[in-house]
Structure 1
Amino acid sequence: MATWSNLMFQNSSSPLMEQLIFFYDNSMLILTMITIFLMYIMMTLFINKFINLSMIEHQNIELIWTILPGIFLIFISIPSIHLLYLLDESNHPSITLKIIGHQWYWSYEYSDFKNIEFDSYMNNEQSLNNFRLLEVDNRIILPMKFQIRTLISSSDVIHAWTVPSLGIKADALPGRLNQTSFFINRPGIFYGQCSEICGANHSFMPISIESINLNNFIKWINNN
């Protein structure tokens, strides 16, 4: 989860989040190289006392500074489009989780199993063992190393179901059903929050996912 001193992304817990971080590093490397090069050119223009007419107007230079940005954009756009399609792909999901946003809590339903649905409210208990504004009374229990599909909607206003460490952010729109999928590759508890300004208590509808192994998940299903 994010802490006050964290300046970068949270540690990835899914393959898609790993790819998002790789794409970010790739893009930032290209932007850093461009920025350093432009700063160098600007400093030389300020310091240099000589004037070269070929540097002020020259067709070869104009051709170069037109083609080079296009090449940089290709190196950014190809992995971006590839990743965009991967994020939208739902490949043989094992479990479907229905999510409905309310003012101001979440409702969950495991449609593959009978009578497993519950509401998830923010936990108001103040304790050193609880993360403030992130703990809930009913966590989402999911097995790790399985493809999970989510169907997201809303009953009132626009919400956004977001879990940063899993690389998930999907709008919950009234009258519309959005679909996304993710794959949790390790056990743990992953936190998120509504990322759409949905009203007065927008910051008080957190998300908590607990990832466990398959045997414990089956026991949890049988006990509910």
Structure 2
Amino acid sequence: MWKQMNLQDSNSLVMDNLINFHDHAMMVILMIIVLIFYFLIFMMTNLFCNRFMYEGQLIEIIWTLVPMVFLLFLAVPSLKILYMTDELNNPYLTIKVLGHQWYWSYEYSDFKELNFDSFMVSDYKLSNFRLLDVDNRMIVPMNLNMRVIVSSLDVIHSFTVLSLGVKVDAIPGRLNQLSMNVNRPGLFYGQCSEICGVNHSFMPIVLESNSIKNFLDWINSM
């Protein structure tokens, strides 16, 4: 819903793990803050200072090992998510995304000569969401492993769809790739997340997820 301050609803397995890691990291950070404030208040209100508290080998070992344990609690799940976003698991479909100043081009490499440009809808009467709707949506099938290849033809852009946990830079002369699997039908909105020029805020992304049958019907109609 609009005006909510939390993360967007998840629509992919990667985003599910990102939200869980966010909540996990917030709990670890909260534990650290409570522990630090407890020691600060204890030291400030203690009238009897123990010099061994400041110079002892034991306390130095403790305040070295405890942060290492906290970092392990953060590093292990983050590495899992890193490999999830990096590995390609038998993709059945490849889509090439090219960034321009200031619009996106989509090319379905598995189907002959299927490519189109996607511009922001400038007529607000025809759009559902101002500055977020486009004339040609990126159509994808749901529950299917896809490979998205991202590049740019001019400056650095960033292909970002938050509810899918997708964010990758589009760099001229370089191909970046990511794995994507949408687990439900619907419309998912994103934007370029790299400051790419004067119209940076006017190159949105609209991804439409359909069943495989509807996706193949759309391919035939194109």
After TM superposition, the score normalised by the length of structure 1 is 0.96
Deviation of 1:128 after TM superposition, in Å, equals 8.0
2:212 matched to which residue of 1?
214
1:36 matched to which residue of 2?
34
1:135 matched to which residue of 2?
133
RMSD over aligned Cα atoms: 1.2
The one-letter code matched in structure 1 to 2:192 is C
2:142 matched to which residue of 1?
144
Deviation string, structure 1 residues 169-202 (Cα, Å, up to 9, x no partner): 1110110011011110001100000000000000
- How many residues are treated as equivalent by the alignment? 222
CA–CA distance in 1 between the matches of 2:161 and 2:112? 26
2:165 matched to which residue of 1?
167
**Mapping of residues 5-154 of structure 1, within 5 Å:** 5-127=3-125, 130-154=128-152
The one-letter code matched in structure 2 to 1:120 is S
The one-letter code matched in structure 1 to 2:18 is L
Q: Which moved more, 1:42-51 or 1:137-146?
A: 42-51
- SS of 1:108's partner is strand
Which of 191, 194, 197 matches 1:196?
A: 194
Q: Which moved more, 1:56-65 or 1:124-133?
A: 124-133
Deviation of 1:83 after TM superposition, in Å, equals 1.4
The one-letter code matched in structure 2 to 1:113 is F
The one-letter code matched in structure 1 to 2:26 is M
Q: Which moved more, 1:197-206 or 1:110-119?
A: 110-119
The one-letter code matched in structure 1 to 2:5 is L
Deviation of 1:129 after TM superposition, in Å, equals 5.4
- SS of 1:78's partner is helix
Deviation of 1:79 after TM superposition, in Å, equals 1.4
Deviation of 1:142 after TM superposition, in Å, equals 0.7
- SS of 1:112's partner is coil
CA–CA distance in 1 between the matches of 2:100 and 2:126? 28
- SS of 2:124's partner is coil
The one-letter code matched in structure 2 to 1:144 is M
- SS of 2:73's partner is helix
CA–CA distance in 2 between the matches of 1:206 and 1:181? 20
After TM superposition, the score normalised by the length of structure 2 is 0.96
2:178 matched to which residue of 1?
180
**Gap regions ≥5 residues in structure 2:** none
- SS of 1:68's partner is helix
What is the identity percentage for the equivalent residue pairs of Structure 1 and Structure 2? 53
CA–CA distance in 1 between the matches of 2:125 and 2:34? 48
Contact 2:121 2:127 in 1 (8 A): no
The one-letter code matched in structure 1 to 2:209 is S
CA–CA distance in 1 between the matches of 2:196 and 2:13? 30
Contact 2:149 2:176 in 1 (8 A): yes
The one-letter code matched in structure 1 to 2:54 is I
The one-letter code matched in structure 2 to 1:159 is H
CA–CA distance in 2 between the matches of 1:128 and 1:27? 41
